[in-house]
Chains A and B, each alone.
Chain A
Amino acid sequence: MGKDQIDPVDMAVVTPNGAVAQRTRRMLSLWAEAQCVSVRLLDWDGEGPPEPCPAVLFLELPEEADGRSPEPAWLKELPSACALVILSDDQRQAIRAYQWHPAARLSPDFSYDDLRRTMNRCFRFWRQGLVWLDLPCQWDRVRVPLSRVRYAESMGRDTILHCPEGPIRVNQSLSKLEPDLPAPPFLRCQKSFLVHPDAVEQMTGGELVMEDRQVISISRSRKQEVRELLARWWSDRGREP
């Protein structure tokens, strides 16, 4: 068994602004794809108490004419297992929100990196949605969150998983492992390597420069495809190619 089966973690976006709602939901999908987190976005408009209660709730309160915003009655009853992320650029609202013990605040106009940092702060709320690898490693087994794998390198019958903590040699060939390293986010740049696009620092000519300064060549037949995939990945997340 390579990949653990997990239940998706529920998240919700409640805002009177349709464009902000749409953008936040799209950004969350991009984040979940990159972090290999199984997420279910709830269709809940904030009318009545949340059922089920989301693990992470993005909330923008509507402004009223006198500058005060009506607060939903359920807000005070929000369980502590729910991370409340306030969407606001308003000083007053940001202060007022402390009564509901928010986990974080985001500008409604947030960037992908802002979202990533915010979600890192809320890790304990959504960690149950992490997709894990469970693989044989010498006489033991090793369990690694999928997003921790920055790139995988074929080593005969084994594969080296390059993670921020260091390389892990697992007793499974890259071809057998490939179905557990889904595309997206993982992309194959040549016969011996599968890489996570977030770990790619830059693409120069026929090579990928990784965040750990490792240089990986791209096979000629995949060059165009890799270039397009990376360009789309970076453009979706507001990163300069």
Chain B
Amino acid sequence: MRLTVMICEDLEEERMALARMVRRVCRSRGIDLELELSASGEELLDRFRTRRWDILFLDIYLGGISGTQAARSIREKDQTCALIFATTSREHGLLSYELRVTDYLLKPFSQEDVETALDWILLEREERFQTLTIRSEWEEEQILVRDILYIEVIRHSAVIHLTNGVKRTRKGLQELENEIGDSGFLRCHRSFLVNLEHVAAVDHGDFAMENGDRVPISAQRAAEVKRAFFDWSLEKTWDGYL
């Protein structure tokens, strides 16, 4: 499992203390952690232009741009990041729900509080952090399942098309499908497994992918596949609609 975490806290001592707590939790859970730190709301938003994180710990009183202002700006562009307020403020409880905050840690908080908050996120969003181990001819590596666009079988190899490249493995498609075990993946063809998250549209019996590739839908399974895709996209689009 791989996790990207950002801590935005203006007080260095508290920033470092929280970073230690997060590292300790991830180490004990065997999580591959990528941790970034930021000392102000301005710095956070500046980095947010090019970066995204799975989890963001955010202080509210930050000097310049406040934590709630920063959270609002981030929420406008990123609905998936798990926000955790880590603050002395007892005045932002109601607002936190509007900003879709996942947890609210009141200072001083303990290692156990951080563990509880992270464990809940890991449990709730397990699929988001899931990795897949693949062995190519020379090496073994972990890839994030959410980065997979689709997998196709060519001869006896599975070709994994990712958002940032292509990997090959000798694993079979059925084995990969079982390992992924994610409802967001669909076996749309004997030789193809597609990540619905990266489908742009259904077009002339194919899935048109975000990157312009086309993934065929088996004629025999067309009705079933389209129904599954519709059901899946319904859940994705329901919020904010009607």
Contacts and interface: CB of A to CB of B under 8 A. Distances in A.
Given A95-B106, A123-B235, A127-B235, A147 B242 contact: yes
Contacts of A89: 94
Contacts, number: 54
Main secondary structure of the interface of B (DSSP, over half): helix
A98 B103 contact: yes
Given A94-B96, A95-B96, A164-B242, 8 more contacts: A80-B124, A91-B90, A91-B94, A92-B93, A93-B93, A95-B104, A141-B223, A147-B242
Interface string B21-34: 00000000000000
A141 B226 CA distance: 11
A120 B93 contact: no
Nearest to A97: B93
B227 A143 contact: yes
Contact count band on A: 20 to 34
Contacts of A143: 227, 230
Contacts of B124: 80, 101
A115 to B, nearest CB: 12
Contacts of A95: 90, 93, 96, 104, 106
A93 B234 CA distance: 33
Return the 10 tightest CB-CB contacts between A and B, nearest first: A94-B93, A95-B93, A105-B97, A91-B93, A123-B238, A98-B104, A120-B239, A95-B104, A94-B94, A98-B103
Interface in B74-122: 90-94, 96-97, 103-104, 106, 120
A43 B93 CA distance: 30
A210 to B, nearest CB: 14
Interface in A122-138: 123-124, 127
A107 to B, nearest CB: 8
B8 to A, nearest CB: 19
B97 A104 contact: yes
A71 B240 CA distance: 32
A116 B124 CA distance: 23
Interface in B209-242: 223, 227, 230, 234-235, 238-242
Interface in A11-69: 35
Contacts of A94: 93-94, 96-97
Given A121-B239, A164-B241, A145 B234 contact: yes
Interface in A92-115: 92-95, 98, 101-102, 104-105
B178 to A, nearest CB: 24
Which of A101, A120, A140 has the most chain B CB atoms inside 10 A of its CB? A101
Interface string B178-209: 00000000000000000000000000000000
A101 B124 CA distance: 10
B234 to A, nearest CB: 7
Contacts of B240: 120
27 contacts: A35-B242, A89-B94, A90-B93, A91-B90, A91-B92, A92-B90, A92-B93, A93-B93, A94-B93, A94-B94, A94-B96, A95-B96, A95-B106, A98-B103, A101-B120, A104-B97, A116-B242, A120-B238, A120-B242, A123-B239, A127-B234, A140-B223, A141-B223, A143-B227, A145-B234, A148-B242, A164-B241
Nearest to A106: B97
Nearest to B113: A99
A225 to B, nearest CB: 25
Interface string A192-210: 0000001000000000000
A6 B106 CA distance: 44
A59 to B, nearest CB: 14
A112 B172 CA distance: 51
A113 B240 CA distance: 12
